[in-house]
Structure 1
């Protein structure tokens, strides 16, 4: 009987290791969701504190070298300058459609705004559908002379392994990256951030600003509880499996 139990115990080594690996993964996923929840709550707090009320001025050029998104992103600002429409950069993206789950393909128009000081701030003027990518098809959307833009400060869009490579020679962009766009057009004194223009209507109706989502879902606690619940279920199932396996020799004697 003792030898039989020892054999059964040894037979549990591989299932036990597999269960430990699965348990570690489940606990890791739950912990990651808690970390994401903390990050999301901080982001929501930033939006609530900065995106509403009266607009302020952008960070002065002298502070651009030390600019940090956690200190400034989503702040409501107002800036005056002249658009350099010849350097307009259409960045491929999606916008919410009339029906939920049916987004519209198109482009976000990033256009350099030259300030009176000579410095440049990149402005995301808003979204246009694919058939309006060419400025010649919407000439009324290109205001000349001095303009004033109100919007939200945004950090450059983060790239990941799924982001296609930009093609500056074709003016084809896949990330809202003001420095990359500025470098392609040999612009200097460019802000390390961009401004998402608000929903103030543009002549002709395009581009459509106000695309920054200010209401963010936060379901990470629910996801964390789910992963931890699965981990507890795994522990219970494995414990029952071990008990049954160890009881088999006694039942067969």
Structure 2
């Protein structure tokens, strides 16, 4: 009897923990969906002019319109696009009447690395962004071949003589460049999978608990007969 009681307490406690973890992930899923909806709403809002004072926290994803000159001189950031393959993001400095910032013009295939592209006067619609793409495994830029491996905004700004402000274009700036606008696809949202995993483990735990309780009760019942 003491053995059965121990198994029952152990089984119920484990089941409660697993179910609570599943419920927590469901709550996190609702929270993340709200965050993503807010970001998507901000991304797709009506573009405004470039603010005088720009903060990475306050202006992240802000849609803006800028008019000025695309300055010569490119930085190529190595990326891979689904169903297309490897290529580069084109990063350049862009000068308005008041300031010079960075513009991510979009994607080119590796074969177009040395092609000529349109610079000079233009108007661009895009979103301000400060991508978090640097970790301990990110290689240093290959300066000789002009290949970077992440959009490191402060270092890109230093290299191109611009403010550490990056506008990711969603309007076309050159026929040979495909814009890669900001979206929420790269923001991880795995809470549903985690919830399913925890609830699945809870079902397995409950089944195992029931099995062990049945095995420990079966001999005593047979002995009584």
TM range (shorter): 0.7 to 0.9
Query: How many angstroms does 1:77 deviate by?
Result: 0.6
TM-score, with length taken from structure 1: 0.69
In structure 2, which of residues 126, 130, 134 is the aligned counterpart of residue 151 of structure 1? Answer: 126
Report the 3-state secondary structure (helix = DSSP H, G, I; strand = E; otherwise coil) of the residue aligned with 1:85: coil
Within a 5 Å distance, the mapping from 1:130-209 to structure 2 comes to: 130-134=110-114, 138-139=115-116, 141-144=117-120, 146-160=121-135, 163-170=137-144, 171-183=146-158, 185=159, 187=161, 190-191=163-164, 193-200=165-172, 202=174, 205-209=175-179
Task: Give distance in 2, aligned partners of 1:214 and 1:85.
Answer: 31
Task: Give distance in 2, aligned partners of 1:167 and 1:218.
Answer: 26
Q: Which residue of 2 aligns with 1:99?
A: none
TM-score, with length taken from structure 2: 0.77
Does residue 128 of the first structure (1) align with residue 108 of the second (2)? yes
Q: Give yes or no for contact 1:34–1:220 (8 Å, CA) kept in 2.
A: no
Structure 2 alignment gaps of length 5 or more:
none
In structure 2, which of residues 63, 70, 77 is the aligned counterpart of residue 91 of structure 1? Answer: 77
Aligned residues: 220
Q: For 1:65-93, what per-residue CA distance to the aligned partner results, in whole angstroms no more than 9, with x for missing partners?
A: xx133x3222221112322322x111111
Within a 5 Å distance, the mapping from 1:22-171 to structure 2 comes to: 28=21, 31-32=24-25, 34-53=27-46, 55-60=47-52, 63-64=53-54, 67-69=55-57, 71-86=58-73, 88-96=74-82, 102-117=83-98, 119-134=99-114, 138-139=115-116, 141-144=117-120, 146-160=121-135, 163-170=137-144, 171=146
Task: Give distance in 1, aligned partners of 2:111 and 2:88.
Answer: 10
Task: Give distance in 2, aligned partners of 1:159 and 1:123.
Answer: 19
Q: For 1:136-191, what per-residue CA distance to the aligned partner results, in whole angstroms no more than 9, with x for missing partners?
A: xx21x1313x3221111222233345x532325232212222212123x2735x13
Q: For 1:181-237, what per-residue CA distance to the aligned partner results, in whole angstroms no more than 9, with x for missing partners?
A: 123x2735x13x3111123251xx211114333678997564354234214303311
Aligned-CA RMSD value: 3.5
Does residue 240 of the first structure (1) align with residue 210 of the second (2)? yes
Q: Which residue of 1 aligns with 2:199?
A: 229
Task: Flag as ranges the 4+ runs of structure 1 deviating above 6 A.
Answer: 214-219
Q: Give yes or no for contact 1:90–1:108 (8 Å, CA) kept in 2.
A: yes
More helix by share: 1
Q: Give yes or no for contact 1:199–1:208 (8 Å, CA) kept in 2.
A: no
Task: Give distance in 2, aligned partners of 1:122 and 1:177.
Answer: 11
Query: How many angstroms does 1:27 deviate by?
Result: 5.3
